[in-house]
Structure 1
Amino acid sequence: MNSKIIFITTSCYILIGAILLTIFSCKNDGVLGSLIVMEPIGVERSLEYVEVKIPVDAHQLKNKAIYLRDKSDGSAVKGQILNESKVLLDSNLVRCLFPIHIRPNETNKYQVVVQENEETFTDLKAEGEWLNLFVENEFYKADLTAKRSSKNVPLAPGQITSISLKEFDGIKLERPDIKMHWSPSFKKKNEEYKTMAHLHEFDSIHIDKGPYVISVYRSGKVEGYEEIQLKGEYKFYAGQPFFRFSSEMTMIDSLTVTMLRNDEMTMNKFFTHAFTPLNNGKVKTVILYDKPPLISHYTVKELRKHPIDANANWFGFYNDSTNFGFGSIRIRFDYKNLNGVMSPMTDAQTKISYAYNEGRYWDRRFVDSGELKVPKGSRYFEDNVYSIFKVDTEDPSQEIQKLYNQLSNPVIVQYNSSI
C-alpha cells in the first residue's frame, strides 16, 4: 500500500513520486504513522514545536490522545490537538503540535501513536474569562484585558495591554494611556486614529487553550473604518521567551488614508537603545534618549535622514545597563492584493517615534506621509514573533539574531501516514 506523505516547513518543497512503506496496523497497536524531523542549519534546538497534519478518524480519539514516540529510546510525548472541538466534529484531519529537542544537523525518527490520554503539565496557563485574559509562562505574563485610554476611550480585550518580565524583576512593559501593542492601525484625514484595540464588534472569535500553545483569534471591522477587514491571532507558547502575532488588513472597499501601520509596540522609559540589522551584515544602533552620540550610533532624530527598512529582518529595544531587550522578529509578510499584485505604499519604513512622558515606540509604516488611496482588494499580511532576550554588552544583537536564524529556518518535518 502507498502511504500518504505530508511535509510541514516554511520553505517550498516539491515532492515527486511515492514512497513505499511497511504498514502498521492501527487497530492492533495504535500506530497512525511515522515522523522524520531534520535540523537544517547546524544549531541546537532544546525546545522546538512542530505542527503535523494527521489523518485519523475521530472515534479513535475518544478518551485517547496522540503521542510522539521516539524510535531510539521508546519515550513518548503527548501532542496538543489544535482547534480540537471543531476538528473532531468537522474533519478527520487533525493538526497536532508536538514539542521536540534536536541536535545540530540531526535527523530524528518517531512513531505517531494513539494512547490513553494523560494530563500534561507545563508552565503555560491562562486566567480570566472570554478575551479578558492573563496568559503567562516562566518568562512573562501578558495582560490582554480591556482598558480605557487617557481620553476615556474604551479599548477592547484581546489586545496586549502590558507584559511583565519575570526574569528581570517583574518589570512591566506598558503605556499608561493606551494599549502596549497598538496595531494594526490606520487613519483617514480628519478622522480619529484607530487600531485593532478599537475592535469591539467581532465577526469571529476563537480561543484555544492547551499545554503547549494558547491562541487568541479575532476578526471584524472597526467603527468608522468598515472598509478594512481585520484579522489577528496571538500564539503564546510553553517554555519559550516569545509569543507570535499574525495579522491581516484587507480592503473590502477603497479608501484614502494618511496612516497605515503594523508591528507597533509602545513602551515607557525602559530602554536605552534600539537596533536592527542592515543589508551589509552590520547592525545599526540608535540611542533612544538624547545624549552626545557615540561612535557609529544614531539618534532618533537622525533616522529621518537614514530610515530603517520596513522589512528589516528584526527590530528591537534594549537596555545597556540591565542587559535585557524586547524585539520583533519578522517571520513572514505578504503585501500582495487579492489579484496577486503588490498593494500600494508610500514612504514605507520601520520608524521610532516619541511618545508622551518620554515613552518610545516602533512601528512598521506602509504610509508615513501624505495621503494614499488604497484600492479595494489591497491586502497587508504579516507574521511576527515578539521576544524577550538577554543582552551581551560586547554583542547586544547576539541572542535576537540567533532566534531569528532558528525561527526563519524551522526544522523540516516529513509525516508518513499509515492510513
Structure 2
Amino acid sequence: MSSSCKENGFLGELIITEPIGVDHELEYVEVNIPIAIERLKKKALYIKSKKDGALIKGQVLNNQNILLESNLVRCLFPISIQANETKEYDIVIEKNEKTVTDLLMKGMGLNIIVENEFYKADLTARKSSKNIKLGPGQITSVSLKKYNGIKLERPDIKMHWAPSFQKKSEDYKTMAHLEEFDSVHIEKGPYLISVYRSGKVKGYEEIQLEGEYKFYAGKPYFGFSSKMTIVDSLTVTMLRNDEMTMDKFFTHAIYPLESGKVKCVPLYDKPPLISHQSIKELRKQPIAANAKWFGFYNDSINYGFGSIRIQFDYKNINGGLAPMINAQTKISYSYNEGRYWDRRFVDSGELRIPKGSEYFEENVYTIFDSNNENPAMEIDKLHKKLANPVVVKYIPVNE
C-alpha cells in the first residue's frame, strides 16, 4: 500500500471472525493502530464496512502521555457479528462526530457513579459503623434497573471488598482502605469508562496493589482486574480476591462442577432442608478456586449476579508459583443474614509469602436472568462468549 493512502486517511484493514457459532449483537474489539496523535485533532478513527460502507466510530483508550510517547493508539470499536461470520473493514480517519450511548458518569475524581441501561454502580466513599473511611474508587453498591432498582449492597461496608489481606494480630484490610495512590487514571468515553488505581494500604506496605474497573455501554456487566505484588516478604493469615458481599437479596449459590454439571446450593437453611444441601457442607467439598464462573440467584424474582473468571494467575518473578494454602472459592455468612463469596488463597493458618510473588485476576461481574429449570443458562452462555472472543486480525497499511 502506498504512503499516499496513509496520508489520505486509510490506515489498514480489519478482519473479524466469529469462532464458535454464537451470535454477538454487541461486541467490543480492541485494535492497536500506529498513528501520530496529531493526526486525530478534530478527527476520529472509524472502521468502514467493506460490504455496505457503514462507518463505526472508535474510542481511543490510551491516555495522552502514552499516545505522545508511542504513536500507537489502542482503539475500541463496537460491532455486531453472527455465528461463524467473517466481517471486513477499512480503518479510516474521518471527522469527529459526537457519539451518544447509554453509558454515563456523574461525580468528581474517584467519587463517581457509573450507569448504563442495566445498572448503576456507585463508587463513592463510605464510612463504616466503626467510623473507618472506605475510600472512593471501589464499588459501594450496584442497582439493578431491570429489577425495580434493587440495590445490591451492605449497610456500612463496600459491596466489592477485594483484594484483601490480614496479618496475625492486625486488622483485616482491603483495596477499599487504600488512601494514598501511586497512580490514578479515569478513562471516559461513549463505549467504555475505566477506573484504575494503584498503591499500598497503610500497615501493609509489603503489598503493591493495582485494580481497574471497566464499565461498558449496552452490557449487563462490568470488568475488574487486580494484582497483588509482594514487594517485601510477609506472613499473612488471610489473602483473598473476587469478594462480593451482599444483604439478603438471593436464595441460592450456583457454580459449575468439573464434570460439566451445575450445582445449586441454598444460601439459607430452612427446615426440613437436608443437611448435605447446605452451604456448610461445602467446607467438606469446597468450590474450586479457579471455577470458571460463580454466582448467586433469587428463585422467586428470577435474577442473578455472578462472577465470570476470565484470568486467574499466581506466580513469582522467577516463573514459579506463588504460595497458597487450601485455595478455594468460599461462601460465607455475615451479620444480619448477609452472604458473600470470595476466592481464598489462604483459608486458614499462616502463610509466609516471599518477595516477588504475584496474584492476578480478571473477572467480569454480570447481572443475569435466571429460571428455576435452568438458572445457569445465561451466565454459562456469557462465559462461553467471553472465553472464546471474536478473532481480530489487523493488516497495517504498508503490508
TM-score past 0.5 threshold: yes
Say whether the 8 Å CA contact 2:225–2:360 is kept in structure 1: yes
Say whether the 8 Å CA contact 1:141–1:165 is kept in structure 2: yes
Unmatched 5+ residue regions in structure 2? none
Amino acid paired to 1:207: I
Say whether the 8 Å CA contact 1:80–1:212 is kept in structure 2: yes
SS of 2:277 mapped into structure 1: strand
Q: Deviations over 1:354-399 (max 9, x none)?
A: 0110000000000000000011111000000000000022100000
What is residue 182 of structure 1 aligned with on the other side? 161
Cα distance in 1 for residues equivalent to 2:148 and 2:276? 29
Cα distance in 2 for residues equivalent to 1:27 and 1:195? 50
Amino acid paired to 1:280: S
Say whether the 8 Å CA contact 2:275–2:281 is kept in structure 1: no
Give the one of 325, 339, 345 matched to 2:324: 345
Q: Deviations over 1:105-164 (max 9, x none)?
A: 000000000000000000001000000000000000000000001111000000000000
What is residue 25 of structure 1 aligned with on the other side? 5
Q: CA deviation at 1:326?
A: 0.1
What is residue 399 of structure 1 aligned with on the other side? 378
Say whether the 8 Å CA contact 1:293–1:299 is kept in structure 2: no
Say whether the 8 Å CA contact 1:268–1:359 is kept in structure 2: yes
What is residue 230 of structure 1 aligned with on the other side? 209
SS of 1:233 mapped into structure 2: strand
Whether 1:100 and 2:51 are equivalent positions in the alignment is: no
Cα distance in 1 for residues equivalent to 2:38 and 2:132? 49
Cα distance in 1 for residues equivalent to 2:106 and 2:4? 42
SS of 2:98 mapped into structure 1: coil
Amino acid paired to 1:369: S
Alignment of 1:45-124 (within 5 A): 45-124=24-103
Say whether the 8 Å CA contact 2:247–2:337 is kept in structure 1: yes
Cα distance in 2 for residues equivalent to 1:186 and 1:218? 17
What is residue 356 of structure 1 aligned with on the other side? 335
Cα distance in 2 for residues equivalent to 1:399 and 1:251? 37
SS of 1:289 mapped into structure 2: coil
Unmatched 5+ residue regions in structure 1? 2-21
Task: Report the identity percentage.
Answer: 69
Per the normalisation by structure 2, the TM-score is: 0.98
Give the one of 266, 291, 298 matched to 1:319: 298
Say whether the 8 Å CA contact 2:236–2:352 is kept in structure 1: yes
What is residue 206 of structure 1 aligned with on the other side? 185
Cα distance in 1 for residues equivalent to 2:84 and 2:173? 46
Say whether the 8 Å CA contact 1:251–1:379 is kept in structure 2: yes
1:234–1:389 CA distance, 2 compared to 1 (3 A): same
Pairwise CA RMSD: 1.4
Say whether the 8 Å CA contact 1:258–1:371 is kept in structure 2: yes
SS of 1:336 mapped into structure 2: strand
What is residue 16 of structure 1 aligned with on the other side? none
What is residue 142 of structure 1 aligned with on the other side? 121
1:242–1:296 CA distance, 2 compared to 1 (3 A): farther
1:293–1:396 CA distance, 2 compared to 1 (3 A): farther
Cα distance in 2 for residues equivalent to 1:364 and 1:296? 24
Say whether the 8 Å CA contact 2:315–2:358 is kept in structure 1: yes
SS of 1:415 mapped into structure 2: strand
SS of 1:226 mapped into structure 2: coil
Q: Deviations over 1:262-291 (max 9, x none)?
A: 000000000000010000011111100011
Whether 1:281 and 2:234 are equivalent positions in the alignment is: no
Alignment of 1:403-418 (within 5 A): 403-418=382-397
SS of 1:335 mapped into structure 2: strand
Whether 1:268 and 2:264 are equivalent positions in the alignment is: no
1:24–1:396 CA distance, 2 compared to 1 (3 A): farther
Which region of structure 1 is more displaced relative to structure 2, 166-175 or 334-343? 334-343
Say whether the 8 Å CA contact 1:276–1:285 is kept in structure 2: yes
